Amino acid sequence: MKLAFSTLGVPGLPLSDVLPLATRHGYHGVELRAHPEEPVHPGIGATERATARAAFEDSGVEVLGLAGYVRVAAPGDDTPVLDELRTLLDLAHDLGAPYVRVFPGGDPDQDPATADATAARRLTEGASHAADAGVRILLETHDSHRTGERAVRVLGPVSHQLGPVHHQSVGALWDVMHTWLGSEQPARTFAALAPHLGYVQVKDIASAEDTTPLALGAGVLPLAECVEVLSRGGWDGWLCWEYEKRWYEAAAPLPGLLAEGREHLGRLLHEAA
What does the pLDDT read at residue 166? 66
Predicted pLDDT of residue 182: 97
pLDDT recorded at residue 273 = 80
Domains of the chain are 2-272 (3.20.20.150)
Instruction: Give the pLDDT confidence of 154-183 residue by residue, as tens digits.
Output: 999 999 888 876 678 999 999 999 999 999
Least confident of 78-82, 91-95, 198-202, 267-271: 267-271
Please say whether the beta carbons of 222 and 182 come within 8 A. no
Report pLDDT for 261.
97
Q: Average pLDDT of 110-118?
A: 95
As a whole number of Å, the CA-based R_g of the chain is: 18
CB environment 221-240: b (16+ within 10 A), e (fewer): bebebbbbbbbeeebeebbb
- Distance between CA 255 and CA 245 in Å, rounded? 11
Long-range contacts of 18-26 (CB under 8 A, 24+ apart): 19/55, 19/56, 19/59, 19/61, 20/59, 21/255, 21/258, 22/59, 22/61, 23/59, 23/60, 23/61, 24/258, 25/258, 25/259, 25/262, 26/262
**Nearest-angstrom CA–CA distance, 251 and 268:** 24
Dihedral pair phi/psi, residue 82, rounded to 5°:
-70, -35
Average pLDDT over residues 226-231: 97
Question: In the prediction, which pLDDT does 168 show?
Answer: 87
Predicted model pTM: 0.96
Q: What is the structure's pLDDT at 152?
A: 97
- Quote the pLDDT of residue 43: 96
- What would the mean pLDDT of 31-47 be, rounded to a whole number? 97
Could you tell me if 24 and 60 are in contact, meaning their C-beta atoms sit under 8 angstroms apart?
no
Q: Which helix (H) or strand (E) holds 65?
A: strand 62-71
Residue 271 is predicted with a pLDDT of 92
Q: Report the pLDDT value the prediction gives residue 165, as an integer from 0 to 100.
A: 63
Distance in angstroms (rounded) separating the CA atoms of residues 211 and 228? 23
H helix or E strand, kind and range, residue 267: helix 258-272
Residue range 21-37: mean pLDDT, rounded: 97
In 3D, which of 232, 241, 146, 225 has the Cα closest to residue 185?
225
Question: Are the C-beta atoms of residues 137 and 130 closer than 8 Å to each other?
Answer: yes
The whole-number pLDDT of residue 252 equals 97
Tell me the pLDDT tens digit for each residue of 121-159: 999 999 999 999 999 999 999 999 999 999 999 999 999
